[in-house]
Chains A and B, each alone.
Chain A
Amino acid sequence: MENGSATKDFITLLVFAVAILTMPIWMAPIGANYPDLLQRFAIYGIFAIGFNLLFGLTGYLSFGHAAFLGVGSYTAVWSFKLLSMNILPALLFSVLFTGLLAAVIGFVSLRRSGIYFAILTLAIAQMSYNLAYSVLTPITNGETGLQLRNYDVRIIDNLFGKVATEGIPSTNLFGITMSGYSGFYFSAVVLILCFWISLRIFRSPFGITLRGIKSNQKRMGYTGFNTRPYLLAVFIISGMYAGLAGGLLAVTDPLAGAERMEWTASGEVVLMTILGGLGTLSGPMIGAVVIKYFENIFSSIGDQRLLEIFSWAPDGLQHALAYVVSPFVGNGWQLTLGLLFVVIIIFLPGGLVSGFKRIFTKLKPIAKGVAKKEGADTGEAGT
């Protein structure tokens, strides 16, 4: 994976694109083929891929990335309110604004590394979360969350005479409404674009420099690299990814709340990245899908549904199984998540991707052996 050629990269991208775009089809058997969830897969995939650029490449653990997600959402909703319901300006502003914010936060927090960096970013994110709830209520609308209103100005829309006669207009891309499957396909295209950028960064000298920083920052300094600008650059890029994800969240559902900025939300993206595979290309996407899937499917399983699932078992066993499993689903799905997290870190520090790789390398000799034997058999038959 590390030093793949251009063709290999192109194939990777192609496989990724096909996998993402056909999600509505192959997700159907596991009951995840409704657009609302698929959108979230794509959006949190972007978030996790961006986070992975920072944490995976440089090893700087940011515990405040959700702040960018929240700010991105707020910016997008404000763009809907003030400028236009078209999503392009909204996303543009989300990305630019979070990029600016990331530049400031990165400039401050990248002065320290390791645990201090984690606590700095955590402190800054908590600060913005608290402010969003208290002083900044005129901007964020506090606990209610920022919503669209009938009387929003929408300057650009009004200029072009697209005045909504009744109700709140929906977000659109030049007339295509961004809800349901169109919303998903738009997010998916953005996701593939983001994946491609991340792929390019992984392969570029810039990305290799960042990996050098991860393995030994001091030595990088000795070889003449001023590491700070590289770190700041990747921090800003990563912040922009988060802002874009936040903007897309607002696109699919134009409502922004401060709970998106809470530090547990920052923990969630760390979780996704670790679960999928830190520092791998596709790992964060896999992690995002797994976690969002768990969140949606597992949290909706109630006691009644459990009994249905275990209806194949004899009566007593059925109830016993349902009793054992019930703390882990429904409201308790986070327990499953936490357990999964601990288990992954203990036994599979490389995440699911490394697990697949291990299985693959173990299977390879077996497969080869079978092939050889078959070859020998056919050879005998030939003579």
Chain B
Amino acid sequence: MAAFQGRSCECTYSLIHYSPGLDVDAIFLQIINGLDKGAAYALIALGLTLVFGTLGVVNFAHGALFMLGAFTTVSTQALLTMSMKIRDTSITFFEAYKEVPYLQVWWGDTGKAIIDYAVPISLLLVIPVMLLIGLLMERGLIRHFYKRIPADQILMTFGLAIVLQEIIKANFGANPIPVPAPEIVAGSAQIGSWLGMSDAIVYPWWRLIYFLFSLLVIGAVFAFLQLTTFGMVVRAGMHNREMVGLLGINIERKFTIVFGLGAVVAGLAGAMYTPILPPDYNMGMNFLVLSFVVVVVGGMGSLGGAVIAGFLLGILQSFASMNQVNSIIPGIDQIIIYLVAILIILVRPRGLMGREGVMED
């Protein structure tokens, strides 16, 4: 059911009803159309791969982290718009009250602007909250599962995902909660006319921002791993954990922090995605399955592969949902990603960029 909500939401958010022939404009439109979804896949898959590459744990609760990030934003919004009842002076013939957020009462227009920017502001909260959740999860539960078989890890994290999901459902209800983007970026960008293409190509600002934001986060993660000493140790640990341990480095502690980092990345991805898809408790599960597919296509344990595969599959999905393609092979948009994944696993099990022998038994 929830998968459906996702789909129908995309419809309401779909760009324009623009169906030209199969020309450059149409192809370009499909590419940018797939970018924001691809960005979400890439970010979740990046975190999954980080955790898998370092700790060797297949984390089925990673989608739940994405969802928790989104709900941190929802909570921030709720916090900022806490309201008091104020006498409505515009109505004079009886006593009428209206709800006015405290921030607006205290600071007037500044308060209003703060509320408007709830989503970007929430990021300040998302980072520490998700870091904390990630660290707690790793220290509290996942740590005890390193020596168990992968099936146990999968099942434990799956159970954990159910628990997290149900906690959110109990507190926020089962319905999607709309979270608006700041008003200044509510409209669409005239990407077509910027690039000298058809004026009909427009792209919602927030999706563009999401795409750029994801590039920023991905860049930051890679910079962190490539340029800092900490990152160097982590990369060495991914290659040969025992050796790094023998050198007197507490690799376990570093990996715990990496898990926290993965949680933050997933949380940021979820928080920024709220204006695109109103979050509900089930959103994590829907993204999780696809993200696993992304990880497998990119190659288990390969960070670059996860990112590239995320964007590729996002774009591929948007191409498959074109009318021209759908009329040739009906229903292809529903299954294309899985089809690609099946092909990849069968033909090239290490994925696009994976190392040979990872998890191949």
Dominant SS among interface residues on chain A: helix
With the chains together, A331 CA to B300 CA distance in Å? 37
Interface residues of A in 123-138 (CB under 8 A from B): 123-124, 126-127, 130-131, 133-136
Q: Is the beta-carbon distance between B154 and A338 smaller than 8 angstroms?
A: no
* A123 partner residues in chain B, CB cutoff 8 A: 293, 338, 341-342
Given contact pairs A116-B296, A127-B338, A135-B331, A345 touches B152 in the complex (Cβ within 8 A): yes
Q: Is the beta-carbon distance between B166 and A59 smaller than 8 angstroms?
A: no
* A294 partner residues in chain B, CB cutoff 8 A: none
Report if A113 contacts B (CB, 8 A): yes
Report if A302 contacts B (CB, 8 A): no
A-contact 0/1 string along B139-177, CB 8 Å cutoff: 001001000111110111011111101110110000000
Q: Is the beta-carbon distance between A120 and B345 smaller than 8 angstroms?
A: yes
With the chains together, A115 CA to B301 CA distance in Å? 13
Among residues of B, the one whose C-beta sits closest to the C-beta of A334 is B166
Q: Is the beta-carbon distance between A122 and B292 smaller than 8 angstroms?
A: yes
B interface residues, how many (CB within 8 angstroms): 45
Stretch at the interface among A262-270, A303-311, A364-372: A262-270
* B167 partner residues in chain A, CB cutoff 8 A: 335
* A264 partner residues in chain B, CB cutoff 8 A: 285
Among residues of B, the one whose C-beta sits closest to the C-beta of A63 is B154
* B339 partner residues in chain A, CB cutoff 8 A: 127
Q: Is the beta-carbon distance between A116 and B345 smaller than 8 angstroms?
A: yes
With the chains together, A335 CA to B285 CA distance in Å? 15
Report if B86 contacts A (CB, 8 A): no
Report if B91 contacts A (CB, 8 A): no
Q: Is the beta-carbon distance between A115 and B162 smaller than 8 angstroms?
A: no
* B334 partner residues in chain A, CB cutoff 8 A: 127, 130-131, 133-135
With the chains together, A349 CA to B153 CA distance in Å? 11
B-contact 0/1 string along A315-332, CB 8 Å cutoff: 000000000000100011
**Which of A108, A119, A124 lies in contact with B296, CB distance below 8 A?**
A119
Q: How far is the CB of A54 from chain B (nearest CB, A)?
A: 12
* B335 partner residues in chain A, CB cutoff 8 A: 127, 130-131
With the chains together, A349 CA to B156 CA distance in Å? 10
Given contact pairs A114-B150, A135-B331, A124 touches B342 in the complex (Cβ within 8 A): yes
Report if B346 contacts A (CB, 8 A): yes
Among residues of A, the one whose C-beta sits closest to the C-beta of B337 is A123
With the chains together, A270 CA to B154 CA distance in Å? 11
Interface residues of B in 4-60 (CB under 8 A from A): 4, 58
* B150 partner residues in chain A, CB cutoff 8 A: 114-115
Report if A111 contacts B (CB, 8 A): yes
With the chains together, A259 CA to B144 CA distance in Å? 34
**Which of A108, A118, A136, A349 lies in contact with B154, CB distance below 8 A?**
A118
Q: How far is the CB of A70 from chain B (nearest CB, A)?
A: 14
Q: Is the beta-carbon distance between A337 and B162 smaller than 8 angstroms?
A: yes
Report if A251 contacts B (CB, 8 A): no
Q: How far is the CB of A7 from chain B (nearest CB, A)?
A: 34
Q: Is the beta-carbon distance between B141 and A342 smaller than 8 angstroms?
A: yes
Report if B95 contacts A (CB, 8 A): no
Interface residues of A in 176-222 (CB under 8 A from B): 217
Q: Is the beta-carbon distance between A339 and B163 smaller than 8 angstroms?
A: yes
Q: How far is the CB of B20 from chain A (nearest CB, A)?
A: 25
Among residues of B, the one whose C-beta sits closest to the C-beta of A117 is B345
With the chains together, A292 CA to B169 CA distance in Å? 21
Q: Is the beta-carbon distance between A119 and B160 smaller than 8 angstroms?
A: no
* B361 partner residues in chain A, CB cutoff 8 A: 113-114, 217
Report if A6 contacts B (CB, 8 A): no
Report if A61 contacts B (CB, 8 A): yes
Q: Is the beta-carbon distance between B156 and A335 smaller than 8 angstroms?
A: no
Q: Is the beta-carbon distance between A111 and B346 smaller than 8 angstroms?
A: yes
* A271 partner residues in chain B, CB cutoff 8 A: 155, 159
B-contact 0/1 string along A120-163, CB 8 Å cutoff: 10111011001101111000000100000000000000000000
Among residues of A, the one whose C-beta sits closest to the C-beta of B282 is A264
* A259 partner residues in chain B, CB cutoff 8 A: 1
Report if A274 contacts B (CB, 8 A): yes
Given contact pairs A59-B151, A108-B346, A339-B163, A116 touches B359 in the complex (Cβ within 8 A): yes
Q: Is the beta-carbon distance between A335 and B338 smaller than 8 angstroms?
A: no
With the chains together, A310 CA to B174 CA distance in Å? 28
B-contact 0/1 string along A336-348, CB 8 Å cutoff: 0111011001100
* B162 partner residues in chain A, CB cutoff 8 A: 334-335, 337-338, 341
Q: How far is the CB of A104 from chain B (nearest CB, A)?
A: 12
Q: Is the beta-carbon distance between B159 and A119 smaller than 8 angstroms?
A: no
Among residues of A, the one whose C-beta sits closest to the C-beta of B159 is A341
* B292 partner residues in chain A, CB cutoff 8 A: 119, 122
Given contact pairs A61-B151, A122-B292, A338 touches B345 in the complex (Cβ within 8 A): no
Q: How far is the CB of A145 from chain B (nearest CB, A)?
A: 12
Report if A112 contacts B (CB, 8 A): yes
**Which of B58, B149, B331 lies in contact with A134, CB distance below 8 A?**
B331
With the chains together, A114 CA to B359 CA distance in Å? 7
Q: Is the beta-carbon distance between A115 and B159 smaller than 8 angstroms?
A: no
B-contact 0/1 string along A242-284, CB 8 Å cutoff: 0000000000000000010011100100110010000000000
Interface residues of A, Cβ cutoff 8 Å to B: 55, 59, 61, 108, 111-116, 118-120, 122-124, 126-127, 130-131, 133-136, 143, 217, 259, 262-264, 267, 270-271, 274, 327, 331-332, 334-335, 337-339, 341-342, 345-346, 349
- 5 cross-chain pairs, A with B, having the tightest CB-CB distances, nearest first: A135-B331, A338-B162, A341-B159, A335-B166, A130-B334
Q: A335-B167, A335-B170 are in contact. List 12 more A-B contacts (CB 8 A).
A: A112-B345, A112-B349, A116-B360, A126-B289, A130-B3, A270-B155, A271-B155, A327-B170, A342-B141, A342-B156, A342-B159, A349-B148
Can you identify 17 A-B contacts, CB atoms within 8 angstroms? A61-B151, A108-B346, A112-B346, A114-B360, A116-B345, A119-B345, A127-B338, A130-B338, A131-B335, A133-B4, A135-B330, A264-B285, A274-B155, A338-B159, A339-B163, A345-B156, A346-B144
